[in-house]
Amino acid sequence: MTDNKTNTATEPQKKSNFIHMQIDADLAAGKNGGRVHTRFPPEPNGYLHIGHAKSICLNFGLAQKYGGKTNLRFDDTNPSKEETEYVDSIMADVRWLGFDWEDRLYYASDFFPKLHAFAIQLIKEGKAYVDDQDAETISSQKGTPQKPGMESPFRNRTVEENLDLFERMTAGEFNEGEKVLRAKINMASPNMHMRDPIIYRIMKAHHHRTGDKWCVYPMYDFAHGQCDFWEGITHSICTLEFEVHRPLYDWFVDQLMDSDYRPRQIEFARLNLTYTVMSKRKLLELVKDGHVNGWDDPRMPTISGLRRRGYTPESIRNFSDKIGVTKVDGMIDVSLLEFSVREHLNKTAQRVMGVINPLKVVITNYPDGETEELDAVNNPEDELMGTRKVPFSKVLYIERDDFMEDPPRKFFRLGPGREVRLRYAYFITCTDVIKDADGNITELLCTYDPASKGGNSPDGRKVKATLHWVSAEHAVKSEVRLYDRLFNDEDPAGHKDVDFKEFMNPDSLKILPDCYLEPFVKESKPFDHFQFERLGYFNMDPDSTPEKPVFNRTVALRDSWAKAQNKQ
């Protein structure tokens, strides 16, 4: 059984990428005193997903590779969408992945006074002005990349008037949307983000940290570079959509610079996964509309959902390393993520036997009331995990799918008159089939060969199938939740004029209430990982109680989706 609380991510990134090359060049040039200092800057307006995990691994991994530091900084500049719940979940996710920001926890709100003072500085220098126009009008004046924008009629207000208006905005004198503060840069710039961007807006919303102290809040583009600068960040790693924002990032930093130090923004392609939506807005919609059971629903691509499903920190870090870092947007097959967790759990997960679609088997020639304990291997990939005892008795459960009354030629499992091996136990032969009044099979009568204990017969005869089983008397009755992909389309959000929810997989969750597991699982605790032999990888869900254990399927033993595609 595993304890994820002790996970640490100390392995450096092995593959060199273009970000390493740029950092190497900076270090060779002696920039920023030879320091490497990164940051992970989530907005606390939702739970982190697997795309954020890639960014976390990248930022903390760079610091590890170069002996540097990484800050955790919350971009809490939009109080209408941010909650303490999200802050707490993000910190828990980063720690669970195995990373530690030590004493370097920051919030953009820590810098609200400095950001506000910087805005006043820009006004005094004639580089910012208060605009009375609404957002729609401002947007319409921006022009196009080929056509210069129109200057605001308020662009040439005096410094004194702008200072007065901004002070009154700050005091709460005006309504939301009534005025904004804009940087005065260049309305003819080919980069639309440089055309007098909004840097402060009025928001009369309660902030999760500063309460009702502020009535004006900085825009992300305004807060981003300055927070990097004040924290001493050397390399600000962003996703590719921020590439066009970089000139604005640099412009703001230029206004602050008082030494040779300056942070550098580097962009990389964000993670896109097949059969997945990665938009926090869409994920929030799934949660709020009840399509899933919360942010940590095991079908969600959130880190908390993946954790609850049974993914391990190691598997996610290994996945991030496998996909690498590029400058080109693309789609990663989700099967690679599933392969990563299979690969890790195959080496580390405790093996147990469990029957999720039970069929009763009575061994007619086995002594009544007798129980024996058989030796079973805990993990064939790791001898140090040892062995365990599995009870065997007269009445067993096997998988219903492992029996056919009239089996076809290539079905080698149990059937009338057929002999099979029970894992770690004996050869059994089916002698009779018991049915109910409707003709449904309710029970099998079998005999066993006492000489075949351990799964081999002294006379050397062979059988073609080995079945897993549990002793009915000793089994732990459990609920098993079979999770699958939430969407049945490779790109559910990529269809124009079609709601992504139209592609939800109706079979993404099947709940099996009457499953039987070997007694070893009695001592397990939430998030313990298992391989149910022949069935897949599972872990105990936090919904479990001593009276009713619940297990989630992480992944099947093989990629059933790829197999289905190959059949088409």
Rounded-to-integer distance, Cα 331 and Cα 337, Å: 12
Rounded-to-integer distance, Cα 288 and Cα 204, Å: 24
- For residue 20, what are its two tokens? 């390493």
Please report which helix (H) or strand (E) contains residue 550, including its range: strand 550-555
Angle at 48 between CA 291 and CA 311, to 5 degrees: 80
Angle at 298 between CA 297 and CA 302, to 5 degrees: 75
Residue 43 among the catalytic residues: yes
Q: Where in 306-459 does DSSP place strands (E)?
A: 350-352, 354-355, 358-363, 372-377, 387-392, 395-399, 419-422, 427-435, 441-449
Give 286-299 as a DSSP string.
Answer: HHHTTSSSSTT-TT
Length of the chain, in residues:
568
Rounded-to-integer distance, Cα 303 and Cα 431, Å: 50
Please report which helix (H) or strand (E) contains residue 74, including its range: strand 69-74
Residue 280 among the catalytic residues: yes
Q: Which of 529, 564, 249, 206 is nearest to 385 (CA)?
A: 529
Q: Catalytic residue among 65, 270, 388, 453, which?
A: 270
Long-range contacts of 463-466 (CB under 8 A, 24+ apart): 463/419, 463/420, 463/421, 463/427, 464/412, 464/420, 465/402, 465/412, 465/413, 465/414, 465/420, 465/421, 466/420, 466/421, 466/422, 466/423
To which residue do tokens 């939301």 refer? 176
Residue 490 among the catalytic residues: no
CB 213 within 8 A of CB 167: no
CB 316 within 8 A of CB 347: no
Q: Which of 130, 117, 182 is nearest to 158 (CA)?
A: 130
Q: Catalytic residue among 280, 307, 317, 351, which?
A: 280
Amino acid at 227: C
Q: Which of 242, 519, 240, 481 is nearest to 391 (CA)?
A: 519
Rounded-to-integer distance, Cα 219 and Cα 97, Å: 30
Q: Catalytic residue among 11, 43, 161, 443, which?
A: 43
Q: How far is CA 389 from CA 16, 420, 519, 520, 524, in A?
A: 47, 21, 9, 8, 16
Count Cβ neighbours within 10 Å for each residue of 384-413 and write b for 16 or more, e otherwise.
Answer: ebeebebebbbebbbbeebbeeeeeeeeeb
Please report which helix (H) or strand (E) contains residue 236, including its range: strand 235-239
Any idea which residues carry the catalytic annotation? Answer: 43, 270, 280
